[in-house]
Structure 1
């Protein structure tokens, strides 16, 4: 088998040209096969008519026109392969020239030599252009990929700082997550929304805490346990300040008020009997948090938030979230906002802290227009309405989890940190 190009071969024994691209063959006469084999034995060499006559008609005496006719027929059979040229060299003989670019058709995937020749045989400029084109294609693929979108969002966040908080007269340290520079990270930007240190709460002896800011709001997630791993969900406090004006939230009054609101108004918490023996087809990972938004001189507004994840693969599945927003006097009928979509989970780090990022592609949104909205809750309705119109991709960060609770950064009213109760529900 004589190789002509990366995909075209001469089978001298079977007397045919074999086209591996189209899976076809072209029959040759004995003389055509022999003449072509001699020409292929030394590409670009000039063979005399006498040498070609001897190869094509051994031990026979034939007229020179026989070679002329043979060459003419061979050219017609090679005509589909423009990179193969059978040239007449005046007064000297014939020459077979195969272009170095003959690899452009298609390489036989099982022909390692052809692949090597295709790579080595091209010019340096062609190689450079090919590499550049490949880099551009890879860059485009990366740019439009979901992972790039996640990384672009992730790099905004930092978690290399801690601040001191005074919660009801008890001082503790909080891990900080923030976007932007350090000019807006002074502890007072959180502390000013809580009442002075003299506002003592006997039930809080120590606490674990996380705080976050996107440069606009300041949120804090607090569990009254010294070690976050010991947090079982009881007594969790989630507070987010949306207004730069100090809220001055009286913690001694806030704690019983929040407990009263949670007992009186409950929309999203899923309460099902525990059944460890149940063999449900689906496992729902449910997270529930109550987030409070204090504003000086306004009614206390609460977001009753529930999120659920149902995995359909190792790191992907269905996402469901619903928020019910009300105020402390029930003047606002529930502002209910529901999101459904699909998530992809990425395990990564923020400032060397392990976090899980959930990229949610929103498929369905539903905003229930309330019958009545108090002035205190109106900004929440407007903000949610704005996101209801434009949000298609959302990023949720799970920055901590134990067996009973988890801490999330949630894209609602900006970027809000919340400590949620965690449960698994077999469906």
Structure 2
């Protein structure tokens, strides 16, 4: 097989031209094949009529018109290939000229030689340009892909510090999650919101805790127990402070008030809508988060996440955010969402975390008839989420048999220790 261009070959054994663009085979006579082969020996060389007569009719004496007729027939068979020209050079002979444009022809996928030539028989400049284009496409794909977004969002957090919290007269260390540009990490940023004179809790002997700040708000989540794995879901405290002014939390009255608020109707018990059919396992996480502000009613956020796996790390996600105040005057401000999630394993500092990148498909916003002044900022936040948010990212930073600790994208960011329930349908 003799290659003429990237898409045209001369089959020397079968004496035929093969067009690899459409697998067309063009038969040649003995003389046509012999003359063309001679011309291909040295492209652009001018061969005399005598040389071509000897090649096409060896050991025979024929009239010069035989060569003229042969050249005419060859030209007709090569006519579809405009980059191949069989030229007559006056008083000298004939010359075969192959244009460089043949290098940019579309090649047949069935011809490995042609494919190799299309990729490698090009100039260094073309190769560099192609590599740059490919690199650019990969960069665009990388920056636009979901996994890059997960890495980018995760990299905004650090967890290389601990603070000491005094809860109910007990001092324990708490792991701190904070944004990269945050430097206000002294324990007083959290502790100043608890009134020291009323910071007493009977029966509390120890607790485990996590703290979080994004630079403007400060939150902590604690659970009774001497180690992180001792938490059984009872006695959890989740508090988030949204203003720098001390909230003046009276722990002696806060605990009974929070228990009273949590015994009211649970809006977020089960999130899977009626009508979903099949063997379904719902992984349900629920957290009560309190937002104390000095001189205002205590606000409770009833936050719920339900995961229904449809693959190893993918599935459906349901979230509900429900806002009430201590007197039930604002009852309730509620946002329900439904969508899909992909779960990734990442690290924040030395903490292994599960990242849930969620895409929201459905929303349901419930607006109360009356919103108190204390709850107005929460109403605006829930309404903003209803209007703007199409993607949410949740971090699960710790799990036990009955609980999990989450970083949730609510009121900017907060940490919450949740109770876990596995529900089979």
TM-score (normalised: structure 2): 0.91
- C-alpha displacement at 1:59, in angstroms? 3.5
SS in 1 for 2:328: coil
Gapped runs of 5+ residues in structure 2? none
Gapped runs of 5+ residues in structure 1? 273-278
Aligned residue number for residue 311 of structure 1: 309
Whole-angstrom distance in 1 between the partners of 2:404 and 2:237: 13
**Contact persistence 2:48–2:94 (CA under 8 A):** yes
Aligned residue number for residue 418 of structure 2: 420
Structure 2 CA distance for partners of 1:38 and 1:352, relative to 1, 3 Å: farther
Q: How does 1:180-195 map to 2 (within 5 A)?
A: 180-195=180-195
**Contact persistence 2:182–2:214 (CA under 8 A):** no
Greater displacement, 187-196 / 36-45: 36-45
Q: How does 1:340-359 map to 2 (within 5 A)?
A: 340-359=338-357
- C-alpha displacement at 1:103, in angstroms? 3.9
Question: Any runs of at least 4 consecutive aligned residues in structure 1 with deviations exceeding 6 A, and if so which?
Answer: none
Structure 2 CA distance for partners of 1:352 and 1:62, relative to 1, 3 Å: farther
Whole-angstrom distance in 2 between the partners of 1:372 and 1:10: 87
SS in 2 for 1:375: coil
- C-alpha displacement at 1:199, in angstroms? 1.7
Aligned residue number for residue 34 of structure 1: 34
Structure 2 CA distance for partners of 1:2 and 1:411, relative to 1, 3 Å: same
Aligned residue number for residue 205 of structure 1: 205
Structure 2 CA distance for partners of 1:81 and 1:373, relative to 1, 3 Å: same
**Contact persistence 1:238–1:291 (CA under 8 A):** yes
**Contact persistence 2:209–2:221 (CA under 8 A):** yes
Whole-angstrom distance in 2 between the partners of 1:89 and 1:350: 77
Whole-angstrom distance in 2 between the partners of 1:409 and 1:31: 83
Aligned residue number for residue 375 of structure 1: 373
- C-alpha displacement at 1:46, in angstroms? 4.1
- C-alpha displacement at 1:332, in angstroms? 0.8
TM-score (normalised: structure 1): 0.91
Whole-angstrom distance in 1 between the partners of 2:128 and 2:194: 63
Whole-angstrom distance in 2 between the partners of 1:85 and 1:184: 79
Aligned residue number for residue 299 of structure 2: 301
SS in 2 for 1:420: strand
SS in 1 for 2:137: helix
- C-alpha displacement at 1:173, in angstroms? 0.9
2:337 matched to 1:339?
yes
Whole-angstrom distance in 2 between the partners of 1:73 and 1:365: 75
User: How big is the alpha-carbon RMSD for the aligned residues of Structure 1 and Structure 2?
Assistant: 2.4
**Contact persistence 1:240–1:291 (CA under 8 A):** yes
2:138 matched to 1:138?
yes
**Contact persistence 2:198–2:250 (CA under 8 A):** no
Aligned residue number for residue 361 of structure 2: 363
Greater displacement, 11-20 / 230-239: 11-20
Task: For residues 38-61 of structure 1, give each alpha carbon's deviation from its aligned partner in whole angstroms, at most 9, with x where no partner exists.
Answer: 333444444333232223233333
Greater displacement, 70-79 / 373-382: 70-79
**Contact persistence 1:169–1:198 (CA under 8 A):** no
- C-alpha displacement at 1:145, in angstroms? 1.2
